[in-house]
């Protein structure tokens, strides 16, 4: 039963930072309905600086459910441009299946 408890192992984190004048939110762990409010608060705090572009660094996301998809969709209404950097395969697949890959710019720095 201990294998089913992923809460500590994949605890979410969301950290905002600035890179070359662009707001970057680094996401890690699981992004689901139990913790999306925490990540949403980080996104809301990033709005205080009135940035035009937001980069969501998804390279550390191990899991994302529809709550994460909804949060990413919401960011497209809050910022002029939203990029998802280095999404993990599960995140990329969700973005493609939901059609968000047509709205969000996906940047994969690991591919040539």
pLDDT tens digits, one per residue of 62-103: 999 999 999 999 999 888 899 999 999 999 999 999 999 999
Q: What is the pLDDT of residue 97?
A: 95
pLDDT at 112 over 90: no
* Residue 10 belongs to some domain of the structure: yes
* Residue 112 belongs to some domain of the structure: no
Which residues make Cβ contacts (< 8 Å) with residue 91, sequence separation at least 6? 58, 61, 64, 68, 84
Q: What is the pLDDT of residue 61?
A: 95
* Residue 73 belongs to some domain of the structure: yes
**How confident is the model over 9-50, as pLDDT tens digits?**
566 789 999 999 899 999 999 999 998 999 999 988 888 877
CB 59 within 8 A of CB 87: yes
Domain extent at residue 47: 2-107
CATH of the domain at 8: 3.30.750.24
* Residue 70 belongs to some domain of the structure: yes
Q: What is the pLDDT of residue 2?
A: 41
- Please report which helix (H) or strand (E) contains residue 56, including its range: strand 53-64
* Residue 72 belongs to some domain of the structure: yes
Instruction: Give how many domains the chain has, as a whole number.
Output: 1
């Amino acid at each position: 039963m201990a294998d089913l408890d992923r809460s500590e192992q994949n605890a979410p984190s969301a950290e905002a930072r600035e890179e070359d004048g662009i707001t970057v939110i680094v996401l890690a762990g699981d992004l689901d309905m139990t913790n999306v409010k925490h990540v949403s608060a980080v996104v809301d705090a990033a709005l205080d600086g009135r940035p035009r572009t937001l980069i969501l660094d998804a390279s550390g996301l191990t899991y994302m459910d529809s709550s994460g998809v909804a949060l990413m969709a919401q960011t497209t209404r809050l910022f002029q441009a939203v990029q998802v950097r280095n999404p993990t395969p599960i995140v990329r697949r969700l973005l493609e299946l939901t059609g968000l890959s047509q709205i969000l710019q996906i940047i994969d720095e690991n591919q040539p």
